[in-house]
Amino acid sequence: MTLLEQGDGEVIMDAELVEDGVVDVTVPAGRPLVNEHTVLFPGEEIPTSDTPGVTYTEQDLYVSEETAQAIKEAWENESPARRTAMGLFEAWCAQEGRVAKPCTTATYTEYGRHLMRKKLKVSTINNYMSLIITSMPPGKRPDKSLFKTLMVQYRDKNKRALRRKEAFPITLPYLMPMLAKADADDRPISWRDTVMMSLGYLFLARSEEDVDFDIEDLTVLDDRVIVWLPEDKTHDEEQTIVLHDRSDIRLVFRLRRYLGYLRQQGITSGPLLREIKQNGNVARPETRAKTATKRGDYLRPQTVNDRVKYWFKAAGLKTDGRPVSSHGLRAGGATDLGENKATAKELEDAGRWRPGSRMPQIYVRAAQDANRDRFAKVPIYKPDDEVPPA
């Protein structure tokens, strides 16, 4: 695997290995190519180029077998969203006769224009293009400056494309019927799902956080649950978060019920939320669904999404037109906090948003606006009211 950074004025070098392992930069064209971004796996050949450069030794270029294996495992465990984005990109490249991986800057830019022609939302296009560029081998990522220039133009000409369709907030009046329906089902998979939904609401959890929890990350006490989070989307450092139990949601009871079931299955560590078969047993490696093999014993984020939709429908609930998704649990918790006069700082802490993020204020403002009737001071018209003179 050769990792070479393109663009940004980087200099590409022409070099040759001599007997002592030092790269000689005085050799003619067509000799080994290295730069400060070159990384080689054991056994790989040094690439060549026609451009002169600087001197490196083999020690600068190769990673160990252990590091190479870790990188390969990281690539294999890519997210479902990235696999989807790359699948669509690869299909388009095949149709257009272009190389998908690693792609050129021209191909990357042209695919961005392809998504714009489909009139997709700005957030959708940016998400797809970000997933694609991070799927490229490090050092071989295309220059995205041209795509960004086109996006500025697209935003200006397509104001509707800026609109985001937010998930329907699953507030307590919706969450409680969902939990009650799952409790009535009274099966291990339902016990798991009540934990999934309760954590999603009280922890304001993103679906990827729900499914990445290990049993060891949670300390269950009589009146609270202490959550250890190694890092999240907006924090690089570990966090310890306390979730106080509530008499309506009963997170402590739900966790103890589910953890007791896992212990009966011989599971006391590792992933908290696991695939459960119809016979009530936790899926083992030999019986696990093929779609889950990439994440091993960990559920996919999409599973949380599917189960939230399932219980919402099973409880006979309806939305105002916004889509139901697992993100609705996070939005629901934030909405309930905002409607009950939580400050932006309190919401920021609850949802683990970055300091100064606009997201907490969005929920506070939405709650304030929902309860503010700008025409409240105008009397209701009655048919017998006197008609004003012409």
pLDDT in tens, 348-389: 888 887 777 777 667 666 666 666 677 777 777 777 766 566
Question: Domains plus CATH for the chain?
Answer: 13-69 (no CATH), 78-162 (1.10.150.130), 165-390 (1.10.443.10)
pLDDT tier at 311 (50, 70, 90 boundaries)?
A: very high
Query: Is 130's pLDDT higher than 80?
Result: yes
pLDDT in tens, 265-296: 999 999 999 999 988 899 876 555 554 455 67
Tokens 């890092």 correspond to 231
Tell me 170's DSSP state.
-
Share of the chain above pLDDT 70, in %: 73
Dist. CA 151–CA 103, nearest whole Å:
19
User: Angle at which helices 105-117 and 145-157 pack, to 10 degrees?
Assistant: 10
* More confident position, 43 or 116: 116
Query: Is 184's pLDDT higher than 90?
Result: yes
* More confident position, 26 or 105: 105
Dist. CA 109–CA 256, nearest whole Å:
52
Dist. CA 197–CA 304, nearest whole Å:
8
- Long-range own/partner contacts, residues 141-149 (CB < 8 A, 24 or more apart): 141/5, 141/6, 141/102, 142/6, 142/7, 142/102, 142/103, 142/104, 142/105, 142/107, 142/108, 142/109, 143/6, 143/7, 143/8, 143/105, 143/108, 144/108, 145/7, 146/105, 146/109, 147/108, 147/109, 147/112
Question: What pLDDT shows up at residue 44?
Answer: 72
Q: H-type helices in the chain, by residue range?
A: 65-76, 80-96, 105-117, 122-135, 145-157, 172-185, 188-202, 207-212, 251-264, 301-314, 327-339, 344-351, 359-370
Query: Is 14's pLDDT higher than 50?
Result: no
What are the tokens at 329?
């649990």
What are the tokens at 319?
């939305």
Question: What pLDDT shows up at residue 193?
Answer: 97
Dist. CA 331–CA 243, nearest whole Å:
17
Q: Compute the average pLDDT of residues 196-213.
A: 88
Dist. CA 175–CA 87, nearest whole Å:
35
Question: What pLDDT shows up at residue 8?
Answer: 41
Q: What is the DSSP string of 35-64?
A: -TT--B-TTPPPPEESS-----BGGGTBPP
Q: Compute the average pLDDT of residues 221-248.
A: 84
β pairing state of 13-14 and 16-17:
unpaired
Query: Is 264's pLDDT higher than 70?
Result: yes
Residue 210 and residue 326 in contact, taking contact as beta carbons nearer than 8 Å: yes
Query: Is 23's pLDDT higher than 60?
Result: no
pLDDT in tens, 338-349: 888 888 788 888
- In the sheet that holds 218-220, the strands lie side by side as 218-220, 224-229, 239-244
Q: H-type helices in 213-270, by residue range?
A: 251-264
Tell me 30's DSSP state.
T
Share of the chain above pLDDT 90, in %: 35
- What's the mean pLDDT when you consider all of the chain? 79
- Looking at the whole model, is its pTM more than 0.75? no
Q: For residue 180, what are the contacts with CB-CB under 8 A and spacing of at least 6?
A: 315
Q: Compute the average pLDDT of residues 28-49.
A: 63
Question: What pLDDT shows up at residue 365?
Answer: 63
Query: Is 6's pLDDT higher than 50?
Result: no
Question: What pLDDT shows up at residue 73?
Answer: 75
pLDDT in tens, 85-109: 888 999 999 999 999 988 999 999 9
Query: Is 317's pLDDT higher than 80?
Result: yes
Q: Which residues of 13-35 are buried (b: 16+ CB within 10 A; e: fewer)?
A: bbbbbeeeeebebeeeeebbbbb
Tokens 């690439």 correspond to 47
The residues that bridge with 308 in the sheet, in sequence order, are none
Residue 135 and residue 85 in contact, taking contact as beta carbons nearer than 8 Å: yes
Query: Is 4's pLDDT higher than 70?
Result: no
